Structure 1
Amino acid sequence: MAGTMIKRMIVPPTRATAAADELRRRILEGDYPAGMQLRQAVLAEELGISRIPFREALILLEAEGLVQLEAHKGAVVAGFSPEEVEELFEFRALLEPALLEKSAPHLTDADYAELDAILREYSDELRTHNPGRWGALNTELHALLYRRAQSPRMLATADQLLKSTDRFTRMQLYYTDGRARAEKEHLEIVTECRAGNVKKAAKLLRQHILTAGEALVSLLRERQQATT
């Protein structure tokens, strides 16, 4: 219904999750490049928290694949080779269509209202050239499509994969011609789900993920060759 306000439950963040959110933002926006050491004492003081919640934040980010905890070096921002990124997107292309097939038949009118709102915001952010929101909205859209799957372990894995590939998705959209394609493909997937064409939607989703992954891997390999 036009003008309907989508209600979202707001859960107050803990110090650890708030710190993880800020560190994640800095990593995804490129403030902290791959290989950078995250100095616990300095950053904990900067964020105004003690070392215990800061350590918990690092553990959360390690689970997402954004941080590596190394024995003699502490926490460093994770780096990925083109081959590792390719594997991540191939894994997503296997997992997410299966989740969509489980979830799509159970999506509600409220879910579609929320999906429509995300699609509108996504289009607005693409046109205003605001890459800071592209990855988050992409993750939110995909997660919402799968929310009715009733497969908590698969959903948890998909959530980790989406968060791990967020910065790569943003890079792919920013540095390639993927923005218009992503907008079109997202709309097609939602439209097919709404029409009950779940198998077609899952097929479109798989191709959507693989195409984005292929464009990104090509970009990473070009950059790799340029620096050798």
Structure 2
Amino acid sequence: MSAAAPTRSVPDRLRHKTVSAAVADALRQRILNGEFAPGIQLRQDALAEEFGISRIPIREALLQLEATGLVKIVPHRGAVVSGLSVEEVEDIFQLRVQLEPSLLLLSARRFSEDDFHALRSLTEEYGTALQAGQVELWGELNRRFHLDLLRHAGRPRSLGIVSGLLQDCDRPTRLQLSASGDVARADREHTQIVDLCEGGAIEAAADLLRAHIEHAGTSLVAIYRRSGGA
């Protein structure tokens, strides 16, 4: 009978990396869900106590979140949940207006029946979440819909940029829908964009997508200006 293979201990560095990734994911969800509002300080000692771990993986998790723009490491304050300025919101939506309609023109011509089925399933899921007031799902479902529309464009760099912009839009999208009451409009326009693509009216679909993004951006900027920013 052969001897059992020796058990290898997990190196501390790898263990910390694994724990820090889990902590980063948990904190990311709490930030995106609005539990941690922009401007809130994330104290390493308090988080270490809450998670029952040392401060090392907490610090690494916060650095991961800083790399994605969800927190800022501020001298003498530590990690602070990021918010967007009015100018940043305007910039994000202007970039989306420039990129997404042109990518849809390329992508929609390559849609298969399976693609349309997936898009319709996603619009139904989004519509259900909107009607049910499941605010925590709105940003993610919106992001998935827009990326699925553009997935066949064959422009990976542009899609990477759009993906980042949509991630930045997660919290603002939920704010815009909640504050403006545009839930029915968002649901209707997503469905109409898919209808137009399936009917071969791709340029009309791109025009509607452009108007859809422009309206959301204009509405959100107005909300930010009334409230003095995020």
TM-score by length of 2: 0.82
Identity of aligned residues (%): 47
Which of 184, 187, 192 is the equivalent residue of 1:188?
192
- Mapped to 1, the partners of 2:188 and 2:51 lie a distance apart of 39
Unaligned runs of 5+ in 1: 1-13
Deviations 1:15-69 (A, max 9, x none): 5554333222211222111122222344255346665655554444334432223
Which of 106, 112, 137 is the equivalent residue of 2:110?
106
**Aligned pair 1:164/2:168, yes or no?**
yes
The match for 1:146 is 150
Question: How far did 1:161 drift?
Answer: 0.7
Query: Which residue identity is paired with 1:156?
Result: G
Query: Which residue identity is paired with 1:37?
Result: Q
Deviations 1:55-92 (A, max 9, x none): 55444433443222335543221122222211111111
- Between Structure 1 and Structure 2, how many residues are aligned? 212
**Distance change (3 Å), C-alpha of 1:188 and 1:26:** same
What is the Cα-based RMSD across aligned positions, in Å?
A: 2.3
Query: Which residue identity is paired with 1:31?
Result: E
The match for 2:84 is 80
TM-score by length of 1: 0.82
Unaligned runs of 5+ in 2: 1-17
Deviations 1:72-126 (A, max 9, x none): 5432211222222111111111122222222211222222211111111111112
Secondary structure class of the residue paired with 1:68: strand
Larger Rg: 2
Deviations 1:118-137 (A, max 9, x none): 11111111221111111111
Query: Which residue identity is paired with 2:135?
Result: P
The match for 1:67 is 71
Query: Which residue identity is paired with 1:114?
Result: A
Which segment drifts farther, 101-110 or 51-60? 51-60
The match for 2:5 is none
Secondary structure class of the residue paired with 2:117: helix
- Mapped to 1, the partners of 2:56 and 2:102 lie a distance apart of 38
- Mapped to 1, the partners of 2:89 and 2:180 lie a distance apart of 16
- Mapped to 2, the partners of 1:52 and 1:107 lie a distance apart of 47
